Structures are given as structure tokens and as C-alpha cells.
Amino acid sequence: MVTAVSREFRLQMESCGLPTAEIHYHLPDYPNLLQLYIWQEYDQATTFRS
């Protein structure tokens, strides 16, 4: 019996993390309106070598 595995699960098993960028901003023309932008994507940490 073969079970399908989701892409997200495979990425987590390959030591990928899910970094999140959350940006709050407002436009000068609308000072009472606050905008919110959220971005997420699976990524592997960079390995630095000396």
C-alpha cells in the first residue's frame, strides 16, 4: 500500500523551515488605514564554509 505524501511534509523532513515575513505599512494619503502583507515559503538554511 502506497500513501501519497504532501510536498510540505517532504520539505519538513529535508530540514526546511518556514520563514515568515510580516510587513505593516500605511500610505501617506490614508494615515488611518494600516496595511498588512504576510509572505511564507519553505526554505533551507544556508551552510557557510570558511
Q: What is the pLDDT of residues 9-41, one digit of tens each?
A: 888 788 788 889 999 999 999 989 999 999 998
Q: Which residues make Cβ contacts (< 8 Å) with residue 7, sequence separation at least 6?
A: none
CA distances from 28 to 2, 14, 35 (A): 56, 43, 12
Annotated domain spans of the chain: 7-44
DSSP 1-50: ------HHHHHHHTTEE--EEEEEE--TT-TT--EEEEEE--EEPPPP--
Global pTM reads 0.52
Residue recorded with cell 544556508: 46
